[in-house]
Amino acid sequence: MKLKLFILFIVLTSCNDSSTNTMSKKDQNSSQIDRRVDSVLSLMTLSEKIGQMNQYNGFWEVTGPVPAEGDAAKKYDHLKKGLVGSMLNIKGVEEVRRVQKIAVEETRLGIPLIIGFDGIHGYKTISPIPLAEAASWDLETIRKSAEVSAAEMAASGINWTFAPMVDISRDARWGRVMEGAGEDPFLGSLIGIARIKGFQGDDLSATNTVAACAKHFAGYGFSESGRDYNTVDVGTSTLFNTIFPPFVAAKEAGVATFMNSFNELNGIPATGNAYLQRDILKGDWDYKGFVVSDWGSIGEMIPHGYAENGREAALKAILAGSDMDMESYLYIAELEKLVEENKVDISLIDDAVRRILKLKFELGLFDDPYKYCDLEREKAVVNSKENHDVVLDMAKKSIVLLKNEGQLLPLKKEGQKIALIGALASDKNSPLGSWRLAAADNSAISVLEGMQQYPGNELKYAKGADVTVGETAFISEVTINTDDKSGFQEAVNIAKKADKVVMVLGEIGFQTGEGRSVTSLDLPGVQQELLEAVFKVNPNIILVLNNGRPLTINWAAEHIPAIVEAWHLGSESGHAIAQVLYGDYNPSGKLPMSFPRSVGQIPLYYNHKNTGRPTIPAPNLVFWSHYGDEDNDPLYPFGYGLSYTQFEYSNLQIVDEFAEKGEITVKVDLQNSGSYDGKEVVQLYLHDLIATITRPVKELKGMEMVALAKGESKTVQFVLTEKELGFYDNNGQWRTEAGKFEVFVGGSSQTKYKIELEIKQQ
């Protein structure tokens, strides 16, 4: 007790230091925190220090495989001995208070725990899955959505979220594409920043913000063949130009923590990868936060074939710069001996612990360890009407209109007979998506409920067919319904009598996410057959897709007149979809990831290289880079999405002041030439024609969301600098080179509207 009071004394008194008068408030705070951290560190024994580097999962929920050592009795024992620095998957004020109380009141030093949680797209009020949010290209709304998630977590005892995932991926087979921002590093960086700002706000110690975590460092989205946890082998150019940029952006945005990744990168598991963590992250980028391992990833270096046993795995992880061990139980078991044997220098332990304690100070936990544990606040904040309004707004903006032939949409509000078909149409669980650990099951608004809000039409519902069979859950495999078609007839019957048919097909929420890789991207199970059966009796179909990854929907794209990409949109899903179908919201989303025609085209991405044989040299000649049985192009490209109105681009110009000011201004006129008010995401792409290493055919380098009333026009401007024109070479060195560029502007990555630009030698 005496010691705890002493800590409190130094922690509080070291705030008053007149020598810091001339420093900015932020610097003052940070140097005060550094001093307080040092004071605490000086009191700690080696095992207490290592305890801070140890993170345990809670006692009930799991988000990974639990090893035999993970029994509750041992965890409680370690908590009491001050051998735990953080816990994850503990949620709710009461649960958190219970464990925090042990750390604060029963341990020698009373150091509070950081409580981590996978609040990936919401806590109890669930936002659209991150891939869907990315489709909005609306950074401010994405920031607000993260803010809601942070406020609900912080009100529920949590102070650290394992988000945003900023892994770029070009492979829709990988289930975790649902958790990222898609295939593009420029868009991915902006979205990562928006989400970090939303989670962290300006003040980590506020009771409505949480620390964020940029993950998974690095390369996790490039797993071979899209199989989760698989090997990653990429060259320097891909690493620096595609994989790293969103992590750099996250670091610049002040993200509090990084998480490393399960994969090996070019032969070395990321968790034991000193190049990634010590040289790049903590070296070149001078990152001051801490790195948590992914779940059990220190121990997984053994099956990777990189460590012989737990001792060696712990050694490699600490040497490589992994500061906290999530659920491997190896730091706590091995680090002390490794220090005693002089295999690990104590300075490495001190550095890791400093980083961890610093965050505890920044979160305000030393001042009040129970500050996130206010029951009244929890009741007031979680699931509030305001939070639902934010996620509804986010959900509407995440919807992408893929096709609308014959102006089938928007639906008329009166006098129509509408048939609504598909198990997903009445599903209240699936829209919550994959990472929705705190949400109440079946708490989303279904499409059926959303459409019932428009009583002017006659609405009939038939399930048609189930997507899956049996119970579904976050941790277990799903079983697809491949034979039960008993509901087809009822669906066909209601379709026959309808003016229009809305079919909601796709994946259930748990078909994507961690460990959910697939080899087929077709509509799962019997849904394609159902679609075709209904089409035979009534082709006036509006297909609403619910899915967490790009799907191959060639037949639908050819035959179905209207297709709406509605992802897994969270708690307010049905309201958002109905509002778009009925035209109360004019869709404005654009795809953040290419939709392939065939799984065989993967990896498929718009910013690919040209090859030496990009076009057919003469009719019927095979010697060019192509497939004999499929087009090269995607079915729907990155950046693509329609509106109920139309937009026209004209007057593309360049003002080249690169020599004088280092700037090039690109201007284009945009007109809303259709008959609805609407929003367009204006996209700018660059193509560096000749360079010391080959450059992609197009790279997104600018975007702006423009709202225009029907008939209205606006001039949109972008500024290009060395930052947009340059690239990293094969040595990881930044270069801007003189030469010719094409500047493309338009409403998708397939825009052909371009102007040329030449950068002269300086």
Fill in the DSSP letter of residue 642: B
| Residues 6+ positions from 475 with CB-CB distance below 8 Å | 62, 63
Which tokens in the block code for residue 446?
A: 């279904």
| Near ligand NOJ by CB under 6 A: residue from 144, 170, 215, 371 | 215
Helix 185-200 × helix 245-252 angle, to 10° = 30
264 scored as a contact of ligand NOJ (CB under 6 A): no
Kindly determine how many residues on this chain lie close enough to bind ligand NOJ according to the rule CB under 6 A: 9
| Near ligand NOJ by CB under 6 A: residue from 295, 605, 636, 640 | 295
Closer residue to ligand NOJ (CB): 147 or 167: 167
592 scored as a contact of ligand NOJ (CB under 6 A): no
Closer residue to ligand NOJ (CB): 183 or 294: 294
Residue whose token pair is 């609308």: 404
Question: Helices (DSSP H) in 406-524: which residue ranges?
Answer: 447-451, 488-496
- Tell me which amino acid residue 359 is: L
Question: Are the CB atoms for 75 and 84 separated by under 8 Å?
Answer: yes
* Min separation Cβ 392 and ligand NOJ, Å: 26
Q: Is 294 a catalytic residue?
A: yes
Residue whose token pair is 């290289």: 609
Q: Segment 487-526, which members bind ligand NOJ (CB under 6 A)? A: 514
What whole-number distance in Å separates Cα of residue 550 and Cα of residue 402?
A: 12
Q: Segment 623-652, which members bind ligand NOJ (CB under 6 A)? A: none
Tell me, residue by residue from 163 to 202, as one string, x for binding to ligand NOJ by CB under 6 A and - for no binding.
----------------------------------------
* Min separation Cβ 262 and ligand NOJ, Å: 6
| Residues 6+ positions from 128 with CB-CB distance below 8 Å | 121, 145, 391, 394, 395, 398, 433, 567, 568, 569, 570, 573
Interior angle at CA 162, CA 157 and CA 163, nearest 5: 115
Closer residue to ligand NOJ (CB): 114 or 562: 114
Which tokens in the block code for residue 619?
A: 């009719």
- Closest listed residue to residue 739, CA positions, set 755, 753, 757: 757
* Min separation Cβ 428 and ligand NOJ, Å: 25
* Min separation Cβ 747 and ligand NOJ, Å: 33
Secondary element (H or E) of residue 562 = strand 562-565
What whole-number distance in Å separates Cα of residue 740 and Cα of residue 745?
A: 17
Helix 139-154 × helix 185-200 angle, to 10° = 40
| Residues 6+ positions from 633 with CB-CB distance below 8 Å | 597, 750
Closer residue to ligand NOJ (CB): 435 or 685: 435
What whole-number distance in Å separates Cα of residue 30 and Cα of residue 362?
A: 9
Closer residue to ligand NOJ (CB): 295 or 744: 295
Catalytic entry in 138, 171, 184, 294: 294
Interior angle at CA 556, CA 600 and CA 524, nearest 5: 60
64 scored as a contact of ligand NOJ (CB under 6 A): yes
Closer residue to ligand NOJ (CB): 63 or 643: 63
| Near ligand NOJ by CB under 6 A: residue from 160, 162, 329, 454 | 162
* Min separation Cβ 214 and ligand NOJ, Å: 11
What whole-number distance in Å separates Cα of residue 449 and Cα of residue 617?
A: 55
Q: What are phi and psi of 51, to 5 degrees?
A: -55, -40
| Near ligand NOJ by CB under 6 A: residue from 63, 189, 429, 751 | 63
| Near ligand NOJ by CB under 6 A: residue from 95, 147, 294, 507 | 294
Tell me, residue by residue from 114 to 153, as one string, x for binding to ligand NOJ by CB under 6 A and - for no binding.
----x-----------------------------------
CB atoms < 10 A from the CB of 112, how many?
22
* Min separation Cβ 745 and ligand NOJ, Å: 36
At 715 the three-state DSSP class reads strand
Closer residue to ligand NOJ (CB): 116 or 702: 116
744 strand-pairing partners: 685, 754
Which tokens in the block code for residue 648?
A: 């026209």
* Min separation Cβ 495 and ligand NOJ, Å: 42
Closer residue to ligand NOJ (CB): 120 or 566: 120
* Min separation Cβ 512 and ligand NOJ, Å: 14
Closer residue to ligand NOJ (CB): 138 or 327: 327
* Min separation Cβ 89 and ligand NOJ, Å: 7
Question: Helices (DSSP H) in 113-257: which residue ranges?
Answer: 130-136, 139-154, 185-200, 236-238, 245-252
Kindly list the residues in this chain that would bind ligand NOJ in the complex (CB under 6 A). 63-64, 88, 118, 162, 215, 294-295, 514
Q: Which residues are marked as active site?
A: 294
